[in-house]
Amino acid sequence: MSTSPNREAAVRLAEMGFRVFPCTNDPGSEWHKKPLVKGWPDTPIRPAWQVGAIWTAHLDALPAIVTDGIVVIDCDRKHGIDGVANFTTLCGEWGIDLSTNTLTVETPSGGLHFFFKSDMPFVGEVGKVVSGVDIRSHGNYVIAPGSVIADGRAYRIAAGSLNAIPALPIALAALLRPKADSSLPLPAPAPQNVTERERHYGAEVLERCLEEISALTEGERNNKFNAISYHVFRQCGAGRIEPTHSVYELLRAARSIGLPEREARATIESAMKSGLSNPAEPLDEVPKWIPIMVGNWIEAYKAKLATKQNVSKVELVSFADIEERAIDWMWEGFIPKGKLLLLAGAGGSGKSTITCSFAATITNAGLWPDHSQCGAAANYLIWSSEDDPNDIIKPRLLAANANVHRCRFIQGAKDEEGNTRSFDPANDMEHLSEAVASLGNVSMVVIDPIVQAVQGDMYRPNEVRRSLQPIVDFASRFNCAVVGITHVTKGSRDTESVDRILGSTAFKDFARGALMVGREEGTNNRVMVRAKSNLGQDSGGFLFTIESKELHRNINTSRIVWGNFIDGSARSILAKIEGGTEADGEKMQVAKRFLIEVLSNGPTPAKELINHASEGYGIKEDTLRRAFTALSGMITRSGFGKGSLSMWTLPFADSLR
Nearest alpha-carbon partner for 146 in 137, 136, 156: 156
Is the domain covering 329-578 a CATH 3.40.50.300 domain? Answer: yes
> Is residue 364 predicted with pLDDT exceeding 90?
yes
Distance CA 240, CA 191 (A): 8
The answer to whether residue 158 scores a pLDDT higher than 90 is no
Contact between 490 and 629 under an 8 Å Cβ cutoff? The reply is yes
SS3 state of residue 584: helix
- Residue 638 clears pLDDT 50, i.e. is over it: yes
Tens-place pLDDT, residues 548-603: 988 887 889 999 999 999 888 888 888 888 765 545 566 777 888 888 878 777 77
Residue 127 has pLDDT above 70, yes or no: no
Closest by Cα among 77, 89, 117 to 101: 117
Q: Would residue 12 be called left, alpha or beta, if left means φ above 0 and alpha means ψ between -120 and 50 degrees?
A: alpha
DSSP H or E stretch at residue 343: strand 340-345
Confidence of residue 130 (pLDDT cuts 50, 70, 90): confident
Measured distance CA(447)–CA(4) in Å, rounded: 37
In angstroms, the CA 303 to CA 297 distance is 10
Sequence-distant (≥ 6) Cβ neighbours of residue 299 within 8 angstroms = none
The more confidently predicted of residues 39 and 66 is: 66
What is the pLDDT at residue 587? 74
pLDDT of residue 293: 38
Q: Which residue has the higher pLDDT, 402 or 49?
A: 402
CA-closest candidate to residue 341, choices 503, 494, 468:
468
Collapse the DSSP code of 293 into the 3-class scheme (helix H, G, I; strand E, B; otherwise coil) and give the result.
Answer: coil
Q: Which CATH architecture has domain 5-178?
A: 2-Layer Sandwich (3.30)
Distance of CA 270 to the CA centre of its chain: 33
Name the fold adopted by 583-655: Arc Repressor Mutant, subunit A (1.10.10)
Average pLDDT score over residue span 216-240: 82
Task: Compute φ and ψ for 36, nearest 5 degrees.
Answer: -95, 5
pLDDT of residue 651: 64
Q: How far is CA 417 from its chain centroid?
A: 35
DSSP character at residue 490: T
Range(s) within the chain of domains with CATH label 3.40.50.300: 329-578
Residue 334, amino acid? F
Q: What is the mean pLDDT of residues 50-58?
A: 82
Residue 648's DSSP bridge partners are 604, 635
Among 635, 600, 491, CA closest to 57: 600
Return the pLDDT at 298: 47
DSSP 320: G
Amino acid at 113: H
- The pTM for the full model equals 0.47
Write the DSSP string, 364-429: HT-B-TT-PBP-S--EEEEEESSS-IIIIIHHHHHHTT--GGGEEE--EEE-TT--EEE--TTT-H
Question: In sequence order, what are the beta bridge partners of 177?
Answer: 123
Q: Which residues contact 594 (CB under 8 A, 6 or more apart)?
A: 613, 617, 619, 624, 627
Domain ranges in the chain with CATH number 1.10.10.10: 583-655
pLDDT over 90, % of the chain: 19
pLDDT band, residue 493 (cuts 50/70/90): low
Q: What's the pLDDT tens digit per position in 12-25?
A: 898 888 889 999 88
Of 214-218, 292-296, 415-419, 467-471, which range is least confident?
292-296
**Does position 303 have pLDDT exceeding 60, yes or no?**
no
State the Cα–Cα distance between residues 68 and 33, nearest whole angstrom: 19
pLDDT at 289 over 60: no
Q: What is the pLDDT of residues 162-190, one digit of tens each?
A: 888 887 876 677 677 665 444 445 455 54
CA 654, CA 600: separation in Å to the nearest integer?
7
For residue 482, pLDDT beyond 90: yes
Q: What is the mean pLDDT of the chain?
A: 80
Which residue blocks in 83-169 are alpha helix, DSSP H?
83-93
